[in-house]
């Protein structure tokens, strides 16, 4: 390994009630691709925020190229050659690429020079991008390129990337990896945050594993198996969900040539979607975020009404029915956005149990609410899905994301649906809870329900789905059995590299 670029010694940061990082130490060499591995809540984000100057450590020290390094703010970190690509993009949809990049600069050069430099950098690193395209029209992969190029224009010595592949198709991941490899060969160090183990094995030279804020291990990913790393990350032996052999019943839910306009301006309209899912079957729907997943869920939940016959439940057209009638008929849904969509933030868990449970759990009679029954139902969810909360009187927003997700999924699963549609069921949930949620979905299917799982986590879909289809710009591909499906085929179903040519990397 070459000389050390950044050295971290004993970094500690505590928030009220939780120690985010405790005595974290590791080194990053120049030109090294270093993975930071850990579950949600392991303290990865806090750690990189300290490196990037967004959070000040309580104790501990950092040295950059031998000199003490304590950035007071991101600007100071950038001046020292540290750049970061966040998981959530900070781009303005209505502006073009060059304008967005200029906004993030201290002294932006004239637009023409900037555009030329953007072209130069994008060609050098195989990230083709037109500086004058409007960001609102770009795919997620292209938006990420804007963020990366914004960083590269600063000529960084260390590039921090937070979960960069969660929004990319496999082909786009490949392009990204080529870029990162080239950067690293030129001497730029990369701190790569992820929980996707196969990626880390392909890309990274070295990995530091965090659990509950502490460094619990280091390894060379190429020489470890994914399972070893996962168990290091979780701290226990992982339970892989088990699939019992299932008998498939008749078609439970069908979409027949469904088209629906998106209610939001930058949303994706659904175009001529066909699908059938049988009783006892799990259908996985993959695709990069923003390709119509939210709209598909809204069409199934009844939030967007469609033509009567476009949505069929057990052979009957239900396209015009609202959410309550659909629940009565046995079609339940769990949206991706937990706070504000699946659950009301300021309401208690009891009230949130009432939110979707009123019809099927008999929590109302002639419009009058049975709060005692709702509380029992909430307690049942909390118990069955191991939701960590003091009790059902707590507001939904006081729960951590993962716990609220368990509550939301549990609320629908426990209502014994005939058809359950979930969007991103394990997003932001720790590995053991994610395994429990997947198992619950599989058990539900085993009991004869049809399950549609919309997810951006391909590993998850391969694990639980019988058939796989992908959403791409509002169109759904022909579903195919998951067994024997290769990553390349999945990538092509998801739209390949989204119209971006795979540029030659020099």
Of the candidate residues 19, 70, 384, 446, the single one contacting another protein (CB under 8 A): 70
Is the Cβ of residue 66 or residue 340 nearer to another protein in the bound state? 340
487 binds another protein (CB under 8 A): no
Only one of the segments 69-77, 123-131, 149-157, 237-245 lies at the binding site for another protein (rule: CB under 8 A); that segment is 69-77
126 binds another protein (CB under 8 A): no
Of the candidate residues 80, 123, 130, 337, the single one contacting another protein (CB under 8 A): 337
| Nearest distance from C-beta of residue 324 to another protein, angstroms | 3
| Nearest distance from C-beta of residue 414 to another protein, angstroms | 17
The β-bridge partners of 9 are 61
Say what angle helices 349-357 and 371-384 make with each other, to 10 degrees.
Answer: 100
Q: Output helix, strand, coil percentages for the chain, rounded to the nearest 5.
A: 35, 25, 40
Alpha helices in 204-319 (DSSP H): 226-234, 293-301
Is the Cβ of residue 156 or residue 302 nearer to another protein in the bound state? 302
Is the Cβ of residue 70 or residue 384 nearer to another protein in the bound state? 70
Sheet holding 158-162: strands in order across?
A: 82-85, 158-162, 189-194, 33-37, 206-211, 214-219
- Cα distance between residue 124 and residue 327, in whole Å: 54
Only one of the segments 185-193, 253-261, 322-330, 438-446 lies at the binding site for another protein (rule: CB under 8 A); that segment is 322-330
226 binds another protein (CB under 8 A): no
Q: What are the CA-CA distances from residue 339 to residues 32, 294, 336, 374, 398 (Å)? A: 38, 15, 9, 20, 11
Query: Taking CB under 8 A as the criterion, which residues in 371-400 touch another protein?
Result: 371, 394-395, 397-398
Is the Cβ of residue 75 or residue 112 nearer to another protein in the bound state? 75
Is the Cβ of residue 45 or residue 356 nearer to another protein in the bound state? 356
Residue 215: its H or E element: strand 214-219
- Cα distance between residue 175 and residue 189, in whole Å: 18
Is the Cβ of residue 20 or residue 445 nearer to another protein in the bound state? 20
Q: Taking Cα atoms as reference points, which of 9, 29, 3, 8 lies closest to residue 206?
A: 29
Is the Cβ of residue 186 or residue 325 nearer to another protein in the bound state? 325
Is the Cβ of residue 346 or residue 386 nearer to another protein in the bound state? 346
**β-strand pairing of 467-472 with 450-454:** unpaired
Q: Are 41 and 197 in contact (CB under 8 A)?
A: no
368 binds another protein (CB under 8 A): yes
Query: Taking CB under 8 A as the criterion, which residues in 422-441 touch another protein?
Result: none
320 binds another protein (CB under 8 A): no
350 binds another protein (CB under 8 A): no
Of the candidate residues 343, 349, 387, 437, the single one contacting another protein (CB under 8 A): 343
106 binds another protein (CB under 8 A): no
R_g over Cα of the chain:
24
φ/ψ (deg, to 5) at 89:
-70, 145
Which sign, positive or negative, has the C-alpha torsion 495, 159, 27, 213? negative
Only one of the segments 116-124, 178-186, 363-371, 426-434 lies at the binding site for another protein (rule: CB under 8 A); that segment is 363-371
| Nearest distance from C-beta of residue 347 to another protein, angstroms | 6
- Cα distance between residue 329 and residue 451, in whole Å: 15
| Nearest distance from C-beta of residue 18 to another protein, angstroms | 13
351 binds another protein (CB under 8 A): yes
Query: Taking CB under 8 A as the criterion, which residues in 3-62 touch another protein?
Result: 56
Q: What are the CA-CA distances from residue 35 to residues 31, 213, 464 (Å)? A: 13, 16, 28
Residue 35: its H or E element: strand 33-37
Size of the site for another protein (CB under 8 A): 39
Interface contacts to another protein, rule CB under 8 A:
56, 70-72, 76, 301-303, 322-325, 327, 333, 335, 337, 339-347, 351, 354-356, 358, 364, 367-369, 371, 394-395, 397-398
């Amino acid at each position: 390994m070459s000389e050390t670029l950044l050295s971290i010694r004993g970094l500690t940061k505590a928030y009220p009630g939780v120690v985010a990082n405790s005595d974290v130490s590791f080194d990053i060499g120049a030109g090294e691709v270093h993975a930071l591995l850990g579950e949600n809540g392991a303290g990865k984000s806090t750690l990189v925020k300290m490196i990037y100057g967004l959070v000040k450590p309580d104790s501990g020290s950092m040295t950059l190229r031998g000199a003490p390094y304590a950035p007071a703010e991101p600007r100071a970190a950038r001046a020292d050659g540290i750049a970061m690509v966040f998981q959530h993009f900070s781009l303005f949809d209505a502006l073009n690429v060059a304008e967005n990049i200029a906004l993030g600069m201290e002294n932006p050069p004239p637009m023409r020079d900037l555009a030329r430099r953007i072209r130069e950098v994008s060609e050098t690193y195989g990230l083709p991008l037109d500086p004058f395209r409007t960001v609102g029209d770009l795919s997620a992969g292209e938006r990420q390129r804007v963020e990366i190029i914004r960083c590269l224009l600063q000529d960084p010595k260390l590039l921090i990337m937070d979960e960069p592949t969660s929004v990319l198709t496999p082909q786009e991941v490949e392009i990204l990896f080529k870029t990162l490899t080239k950067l690293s060969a030129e001497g730029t160090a990369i701190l790569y945050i992820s929980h996707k183990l196969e990626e880390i094995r392909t890309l990274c030279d070295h990995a530091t594993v965090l659990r509950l804020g502490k460094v619990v291990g280091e390894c060379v990913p190429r020489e470890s198996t994914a399972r070893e790393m996962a168990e290091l990350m979780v701290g226990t032996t992982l339970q892989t969900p088990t699939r019992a052999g299932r008998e498939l019943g008749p078609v439970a839910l069908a979409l027949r040539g469904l088209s629906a306009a998106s209610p939001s301006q930058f949303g994706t309209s659904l175009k001529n979607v066909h699908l059938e899912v049988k009783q006892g079957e799990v259908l996985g729907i993959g695709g990069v975020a923003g390709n119509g997943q939210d709209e598909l869920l809204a069409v199934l939940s009844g939030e967007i009404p469609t033509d009567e016959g476009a949505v069929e439940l057990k052979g009957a057209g239900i396209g015009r029915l609202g959410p309550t009638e659909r629940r009565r008929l046995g079609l339940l849904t769990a949206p991706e956005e937990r706070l504000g969509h699946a659950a009301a933030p300021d309401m208690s868990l009891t009230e949130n149990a009432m939110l979707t449970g009123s019809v099927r759990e008999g929590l109302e009679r002639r419009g009058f609410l049975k709060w005692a029954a709702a509380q029992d139902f909430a307690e049942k969810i909390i118990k069955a899905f191991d939701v960590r909360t003091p009790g059902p009187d707590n507001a939904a927003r006081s729960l951590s994301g993962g716990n609220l997700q368990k509550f939301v999924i549990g609320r629908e699963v426990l209502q014994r649906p005939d058809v359950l549609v979930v969007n991103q069921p394990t997003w932001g949930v720790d590995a053991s809870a994610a395994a429990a949620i997947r198992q619950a979905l599989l058990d539900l299917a085993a009991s004869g329900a049809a399950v549609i799982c919309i997810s951006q986590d391909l590993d998850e879909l391969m694990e639980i789905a019988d058939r796989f289809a992908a959403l791409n710009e509002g169109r759904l591909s022909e579903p195919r059995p998951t067994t024997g499906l290769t990553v390349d085929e999945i990538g092509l179903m998801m739209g390949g590299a989204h119209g971006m040519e795979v540029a030659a990397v020099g």
